[in-house]
């Protein structure tokens, strides 16, 4: 599924998900500013209000949305991007 959505960048994508949520689709993090990072990809509710909570916590839906975000905005949308790039080969 991840490879289908991210194509050649799937290893970076898996490394991002691992670094963001430890591959936990139910991961939930409330930030200091009150925003919430949700699900496997830790999609933020303020910066991505178009992604519903239902979608953010659903692996298939969230993966499609994460791939869309990645394609539109790049890897730097995730705080763990540089870490993921360095560690993608160890996944």
Dist. CA 50–CA 84, nearest whole Å: 25
pTM, entire model: 0.91
pLDDT in tens, 42-64: 999 999 999 999 999 999 999 99
Radius of gyration of the chain (CA): 12
Looking at every residue in the chain, the average pLDDT score rounds to 93
Q: Any idea which of 3-7, 22-26, 78-82 has the lowest mean pLDDT?
A: 78-82
| Strands 43-44 vs 36-38: parallel, antiparallel or unpaired | antiparallel
């Amino acid at each position: 599924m991840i490879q289908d959505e991210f194509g050649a960048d799937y290893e970076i994508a898996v490394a991002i998900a691992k670094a963001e949520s430890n591959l936990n689709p139910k991961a939930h993090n409330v930030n200091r500013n009150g925003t919430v990072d949700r699900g496997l990809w830790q999609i933020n509710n303020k910066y991505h209000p178009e992604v519903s909570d239902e979608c953010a916590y659903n692996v298939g839906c969230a993966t499609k949305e994460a791939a869309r975000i990645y394609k539109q905005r790049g890897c730097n949308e995730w705080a763990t991007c540089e870490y993921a790039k360095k560690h993608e080969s160890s996944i």
